[in-house]
Amino acid sequence: MTRISKNQLLTIAKQLSDTQASILGLLGSHRFATTDQLARYHQPLYKSKNSAIRQTNRTTKHLANLGLIRHLNRRIGGSRSGSSGYIWHLTEAGQRLAGIDPKDPLPHLRPTNRWREPSLTFLTHTLAVTEVRIIFEETSHNQPLKIVSVETEPACWRQHISDYGQTETLKPDIAIITKQANYEDHWWCEIDLGSENPARITQKALTYLNHYNYGIEQQTRGIFPKVLWITPTKTRCNQLQKILTTSPKLPAGMHTASTLEQLPNLICQKQS
């Protein structure tokens, strides 16, 4: 495809609707999203789920024709899923329009001469992070819950200087602040796909305790977020909860586990 010039991008940007710009923004933040996820993200704009899917199909097709987004060859649910299973991402032109820094430390965002589809493992994890964001947004539409802020990688990462003078980086998958009535809840989310052993989970959980002990988050933001481990199945959730609450090395209340299904109820509960 011919490279879109800066002037062409400026012209396109002026013609984008709010929904089109919103789709570019979501893909810029999360890298990948399915048609279904994009439709659910914009569900309040439409009367029904089917209407949201139809309109999202039209919008993504238009953005693809403009050269701003494209879908992967693989689909969620295979060919039977139709267009709702398409997995979308920004093109190089879309990245430029969305204002993504080409020096971003995440290599899959860097424009390259040769496009390569991501590995299935990486894609599954990335879409799971997107799904968590969508569930938070859906909950805010259906419950008296407000989304105050969302930080995706690498904006949600935190750093401190160790006792040995080395920079250590804490890397949650996504950071979200919600608000109900007069109180806010701060969340750091870890997406678990069931592939990590208990020792690795404990080790990862301890990195949060280590960061807590340095006090950087408390000094700069006044609070240390709840660490929320999100996994697809109840069996894995129970396993995680046991690891996170019975280890003598981990403080009570810092970590909790949830399935995707349980997530809306959990984030609506007042946290201690």
pLDDT tens digits, one per residue of 52-86: 999 999 999 999 999 999 999 887 765 555 667 89
Q: How far apart are CA 158 and CA 188, in angstroms?
A: 11
Domain ranges in the chain?
6-116, 125-268
Residue found by looking up tokens 């001469």 in the block:
113
Contacts of 182 (CB under 8 A, 6+ apart): none
| Confidence band for 211, pLDDT divided at 50, 70 and 90 | very high
| Confidence band for 226, pLDDT divided at 50, 70 and 90 | very high
Residue found by looking up tokens 């929904």 in the block:
19
Residue 98 pLDDT greater than 70, yes or no: yes
Residue found by looking up tokens 């267009």 in the block:
83
Taking the CB of residue 226, how many other CB atoms lie within 10 A of it? Answer: 18
- Write the class of the CATH domain 125-268: alpha beta
| Confidence band for 115, pLDDT divided at 50, 70 and 90 | low
The tens digit of pLDDT for each residue in 27-58 reads 999 999 999 999 999 999 999 999 999 999 99
The answer to whether the beta carbons of residues 70 and 1 sit under 8 Å apart is no
pLDDT of residue 10: 84
Per-residue buried b or exposed e for 31-52, using 16+ beta carbons within 10 Å of the residue's own CB: bbbbbbbbbbbbbeeeeeeeeb
**Of the given ranges (7-16, 124-133, 149-158), which has the lowest mean pLDDT?**
7-16
**CATH 1.10.10.10 given to domain 6-116:** yes
| Confidence band for 106, pLDDT divided at 50, 70 and 90 | very low
Residue 259 tokens read as 């399935």
Residue 237 pLDDT greater than 50, yes or no: yes
Average pLDDT, the chain: 90
Pairing status of strand 69-75 against strand 86-90: antiparallel
Q: Which helix (H) or strand (E) is 208 found in, with range?
A: helix 198-214
